[in-house]
Amino acid sequence: MLYIIGLGLCEETDITVKGLEAIKSCEKVYLEAYTSILMVPKENLEKFYGKELIIADREMVESQSDEILLNANSLNIAFLVVGDPFGATTHTDLMIRARELNIPVTVIHNASIMNAIGACGLQLYNFGQTISIPFFTDTWKPDSFYDRIKENRDLGLHTLCLLDIKVKEQSIENLARGKKIYEPPRYMTINKAIQQLLEIEETRNQKVYTAESLAIGIARLGSSTDQQIKVGTLNQLLSQDFGSPLHSLVIVGSRVHILEIDFMRFFAIDKQSYNEIVKKDYDI
Amino acid sequence: MLYIIGLGLCEETDITVKGLEAIKSCEKVYLEAYTSILMVPKENLEKFYGKELIIADREMVESQSDEILLNANSLNIAFLVVGDPFGATTHTDLMIRARELNIPVTVIHNASIMNAIGACGLQLYNFGQTISIPFFTDTWKPDSFYDRIKENRDLGLHTLCLLDIKVKEQSIENLARGKKIYEPPRYMTINKAIQQLLEIEETRNQKVYTAESLAIGIARLGSSTDQQIKVGTLNQLLSQDFGSPLHSLVIVGSRVHILEIDFMRFFAIDKQSYNEIVKKDYDI
């Protein structure tokens, strides 16, 4: 049996009881460590699970999936994923491959940013499509997210922006030279995401949003000690320090319920300016 | 402290370790039992948690929230919610009320249909807004969901349809006479939802979808023994028996990735007709 187990958002105790029982029954336990991260070191997880973890990087999952699936017909193998197993396309790949090999698969769900984002005070059914903001380079600034945000905003819907993480990436130089030397991990901050959003708005100039648009910065969502949620204009959020990863951003749509307005107020950076924005932009 | 704890999708072991620890520290434990249900009886939960549960119906949560919050400043109180705490508006209400009373609130997240729906093979970022389909009566057929589905489909996006549940509802007669006699609970089936969808398409006639549109029926999502996912046209799904609740429905959009097509094929009611639909409608 292949168990694909969601670990939830932050800490080792975010796993479900069902997930923990499944891990304890497994011969081999892989930890997917490139589409997201937990806030605790691998050693803490190993201690909590009572199992050694094998770190699965992108290369292993994408090109050596048969090795992960080896013997899963007779033994229990666990593949652990931060958040819910269906957050990233790569895990779908692994599931399809397992089915092709007639290996039984059990998925154990958990919270992910895609549903826990409700914590920011906005109703989940008022969200449109979720977008990803990738790290720009000097020469590569993919901006298709701008069209998606426009589609959402034309309907008055909120947009959840997932921010890029780069784990075990090679520099172009090392890649060209075939050197397996990896850069330190990078996690996009809310500040960087806003800079890139405003840069693209300046280029595309379709007034999809402005520096004065209402948004929500969320850091370490689900942490019992350290979660941060701040509401303000993109401009206000730009100068806030949100601390360590992971960060996410929501651009608030125009179709808002009074309960959403009330809930967001608790998180406003500046209550007076929040009330002014609500009065001006939201007619509430 | 008020703990608002997500119970996840199906069984008692779907709770997180963190959630279970929190319950064990509580003096009073309320179970919200009107926006969704778990697949296990209350007694099993009580045994698993080692705590007595107080059933909180809509009336209690909406008009007696201060009673639930009583003493939460000095004692630990738990409010348990099927899925994730932010699935329904009512829980937002309770959180706002607690904040007004300066009661500290800790939210413990879990999987909900809003993220676990990825299990059907579609990528979460290709979903538009989520809609709810209410039970029609002879005289009341609210159809605003039709406009939302249109908005999603115009963008090529998938639509998750949440199906109505009626728990502890009074008949109009008993309501009028002030008799607190409640009807047996009702859970909308996929079949009923499709009937209503097709009825509204016939009335509104904007060709948002047809009986030949591709869709996915999902029953008991997250159950380790009993989950069902079936892919076919609305017409094909109409005659399928999905068994006991809860049911959900996804209307597949036109913007699909080849991986989504491959994954859905595992769940096709009829692989040949699935391949024909994909060829005809999806150009893949």
Mean pLDDT of chain A: 93
Note whether A14 contacts B: Cβ–Cβ < 8 A: yes
Q: How many other CB atoms are there within 10 angstroms of residue B155's CB atom?
A: 19
Option in A21, A85, A96 nearest B262 (CB): A96
Q: How many CB atoms lie within 10 A of CB A261?
A: 18
Task: Identify any residues that bridge with A107 across adjacent strands, giving them in sequence order.
Answer: A4
Q: Could you report the predicted ipTM of this complex, rounded to two decimals?
A: 0.94
Closest CA to B96 of B105, B88, B87, B85: B105
Three-state SS at A20? helix
pLDDT the model gives residue A201: 98
Is any Cβ of chain B less than 8 angstroms from the Cβ of A15? yes
CB interface of B with A, residues 221-240, below 8 Å: 222, 224
**Integer Cα distance of A54 and A60 in angstroms:** 11
Percentage of chain A lying above the pLDDT 70 cut? 100
Contact yes or no for B6 and A99 at CB 8 A: no
Give pLDDT tens digits for B194-225.
Answer: 999 999 999 999 999 999 999 999 999 999 89
Chain B partners within 8 Å of A106 (Cβ): 224
Burial class (CB in 10 A: 0-12, 13-18, 19+), B188: buried
Q: How confident is the model at residue A96 (pLDDT cuts 50, 70, 90)?
A: confident
How many alpha carbons lie under 13 Å from residue A144 in its C-beta half-sphere? 5
Residue B90: pLDDT above 80?
no
Closest partner residue to B157 among A87, A129, A132, by Cβ?
Answer: A129
pTM to 2 decimals? 0.95
- Residue B170: predicted pLDDT: 81
CA-to-CA distance for B276 and B283, rounded, in angstroms? Answer: 10
Q: What is the mean pLDDT of chain B?
A: 93
- Is 80 exceeded by the pLDDT of residue B158? yes
What count of other Cβ atoms lies within 10 Å of the Cβ of residue B232? 22
CA–CA distances in Å: residue B254 to residues A125, A153, B52: 20, 20, 48
- The residue among B142 and A73 whose pLDDT is bigger is B142
Rounded CA-CA distance B228/B107 in Å is 30
Chain A positions touching B10 (Cβ under 8 A) are: none
Across the range B63-81, mean pLDDT stands at 91
Give the H/E segment covering residue A90. helix A89-100
Q: Which of A52-61, A69-78, B13-22 has the highest mean pLDDT?
A: B13-22
Tell me what pLDDT residue A170 has: 81
Chain A residues with beta carbon closer than 8 angstroms to that of B21 = 13
Position B273 confidence tier, pLDDT thresholds 50, 70, 90: very high
